[in-house]
Amino acid sequence: MKIFIASDHAAFAAKEELKAYLAAKLGFECFDEGCFSPERASYSDLATKVALRVQNREGLGLLLCGSGIGVSMVANRYRNVRAALCRTSEEAKLSREHNDANILCVGARISSVESIKQMVDVWLTTAFEGGRHSERIATFNNLGAVGKVNPEKLATPEYWILGAVIAAVLFGTILAQYNRTYFETVYTLEDGWLEYGGVWALGLLLVLCLKRIKDLWRVRTWTFRLGLIILALLFLFGAGEEISWGQRIFGNESPAYFANNNTQGETSFHNLVIGGVKINKLIFGTGLTIGVIFYFLVLPIVYRRKETIRKFVDNFGIPIPKKWHLLAYIIVVLLAYASGSHKKGELMEFAGVWIFFCLYFFPVNKSIFEK
């Protein structure tokens, strides 16, 4: 049987002891949903993770916080979740026999670890009696204020942004068919609105990343902070490359190395040619394509199916794309190739950055970025 366990910082030590205790019991598989350190953590976010697992019928749940009250309040907001706050083994027994509780909530500041272990033992080995109790449970089982939370659902801003992005690419594709010259010399012009639109998206992503670093620095692990720093540097690098690090804005001349080895004679790395090899084609073409396929297609699948991968991804603060983000990207790629122009990359680059903008603001695992 699968047991999903979580606690806030106040019950972290008790959770760790209880987790080790459960791991030694035969027939039970324990999955830790957090928190993963004694640093301050939100009990509402952690209780939600377990409640969703139980709501999806993946197993039973154990929730701990200082009093047990907060986690029980959150968990019981979800339909088909029956979280029981217990102080004694008798209460734990009755919660299973009469109420068919699927989450046990306890308070680490109220009950000792030994007492919690006893309650867990009784709770896990007591069966639901059914009968008249089933009829009573049926009257309230679907009254939860929060239905099944769909992490794939698009937020309202995403509808507008993704819609506008696809519309811009669609217009470009149509324009390329009827006025190829205008499309290639104006619509996808170097330093034109498409390029600077992408720069704005990267700039906003950098600002958001820096804000998350500031807000979460004291309440997240070093791995999470490292992940945020790496993302911030990637956004900064992307924005800098798009505008050639301000060269054309400020009118600076390219250093000799870039002037001689850059296909456009500008200060940027992605247009460099080293040893006859075009960096743009090798890294930003082939390499980026492989990365995008893995990120949009492979990672979301293994994230949902593999506990170790999910924990690794969340610990490093890696945002997971929704299925809608993948669909939008596929539509953009198909439209761009339908343009038949060698400038199709400009369309995909612009759209891809804004899709990632939506993805980073509203990922599947959005709760990991909440303070």
Active site residues: 65, 98
Tokens of 110: 């109220």
Q: What is the CA radius of gyration of the chain?
A: 26
Cis-peptide, bond into residue 35, ω within 30° of zero: yes
Secondary structure of the chain as H, E, C letters: CEEEEEECHHHHHHHHHHHHHHHCCCCCEEEECCCCCCCCCCHHHHHHHHHHHHHCCCCEEEEEECCCHHHHHHHCCECCCCEEECCCHHHHHHHHHCCCCCEEEEECCCCCHHHHHHHHHHHHHCCCCCCHHHHHHHCCCCCCCECCCCCCCCCHHHHHHHHHHHHHHHHHHHHHHHCHHHHHHHHCCCCCHHHHHHHHHHHHHHHHHHHHHHHHCCCCCHHHHHHHHHHHHHHHHHHHHHCHHHHHHHCCCCCHHHHHHECCCCCCCCCEEECCEEHHHHHHHHHHHHHHHHHHHHHHHHHHHCHHHHHHHHHCCCCCCCHHHHHHHHHHHHHHHHCCCCCHHHHHHHHHHHHHHHHHHCCCCHHHHCC
- The candidate with the shortest Cα–Cα distance to 61, out of 98, 15, 26, 17, is 15
CA–centroid distance for 367 within its chain: 7
Report yes or no: 12 and 34 within 8 Å, Cβ to Cβ.
Answer: no
Report yes or no: 40 and 9 within 8 Å, Cβ to Cβ.
Answer: yes
